[in-house]
């Protein structure tokens, strides 16, 4: 679970003030040093950093298995993670997605991730999807106590397989990718549900994992929908109660008869 601490606050209710305490989540800057080179700083939650680090390098395409990591250590006092990888990093790193303030946004997915549905049909059930979101909701009770934490899970019609929390929406997927590698769980064609808005960066990460359906309690961005259309991923938004909105590849989601009546 995500780390949290307690702070004294003044609570105002109907014009009256009272002393109280509130749990707040921790924000943890973690510097990455790889093969002796300063790479980046991740602003994340400070728990289970091994999952976060392995997932980060997996989704960046630097490792395919744990054997590609020669050593990994984290100094929590100084917020420093030092890793040695089998392969050298490229001189100039080219992220899958890049964005710039006022200069436009470019979106690129590797060719092998585009339109995989043409080669491999996927099928999911609405009952399984609602059940998976409920399992995620039940695991994140603390979200209602202090807010500020995002959660995500990977599963199938049989239930939840992996669960992660972080202050960053996209880092929940990074953590899932790392934990899946540690535990030998294949995310190919699985469902991914998340508590927060789905962005294009999150779709790119899910596509690299082979996820076939993404769902959120809120909305996806327009670019996220475009990437899902390209990658053959079913995108579901506003998954609440017995309702949902399907933004891409609806043919892959089988709607139960009772739900179909309620949605009609």
List own/partner pairs for 223-226 with CB under 8 A and 24 or more apart: 223/105, 223/107, 223/199, 224/198, 224/199, 224/200, 226/107, 226/200
Angle at 114 (CA atoms; ends 113, 116), nearest 5 degrees: 80
Place of tokens 């939650």: 45
> Using CA atoms, how far apart are residues 228 and 48, in angstroms rounded to an integer?
29
Annotated active-site residue 101? The verdict is yes
Catalytic residue among 44, 75, 101, 228: 101
Q: Within 13 Å of residue 182, how many CA atoms lie on the same side as its CB?
A: 15
**Catalytic residue positions?**
101
């Amino acid at each position: 679970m995500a780390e949290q601490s307690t702070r004294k606050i003044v609570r105002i209710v109907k014009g009256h003030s009272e002393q109280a305490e509130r749990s707040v989540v921790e924000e943890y800057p973690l510097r990455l040093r790889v093969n002796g080179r300063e790479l980046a700083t991740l602003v994340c939650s400070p728990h289970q950093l091994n999952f976060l680090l392995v997932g980060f390098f997996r989704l960046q395409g630097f490792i395919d298995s744990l054997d590609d990591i020669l050593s990994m250590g984290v100094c929590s006092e100084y917020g420093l993670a030092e890793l040695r990888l089998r392969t050298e990093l490229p001189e100039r790193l080219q992220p899958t997605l890049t964005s710039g303030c006022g200069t436009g946004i470019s979106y690129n997915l590797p060719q092998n991730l585009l339109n995989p549905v043409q080669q491999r049909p996927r099928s999911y059930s609405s009952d399984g999807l609602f059940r998976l979101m409920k399992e995620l909701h039940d695991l994140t009770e603390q979200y209602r106590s202090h807010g500020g934490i995002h959660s995500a899970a990977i599963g199938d019609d049989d239930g939840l397989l992996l669960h992660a929390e972080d202050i960053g929406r996209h880092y929940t997927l990074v953590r899932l990718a790392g934990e899946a590698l540690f535990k030998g769980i294949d995310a190919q064609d699985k469902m991914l549900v998340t508590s927060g808005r789905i962005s294009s960066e999150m779709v790119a990460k899910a596509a690299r994992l082979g996820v076939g359906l993404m769902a959120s309690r809120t909305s996806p961005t327009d670019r996220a929908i475009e990437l899902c259309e390209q990658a053959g991923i079913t995108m579901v938004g506003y998954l609440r109660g017995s309702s949902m909105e399907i933004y891409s590849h609806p043919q892959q989601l089988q709607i139960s008869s009772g739900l179909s009546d309620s949605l009609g």
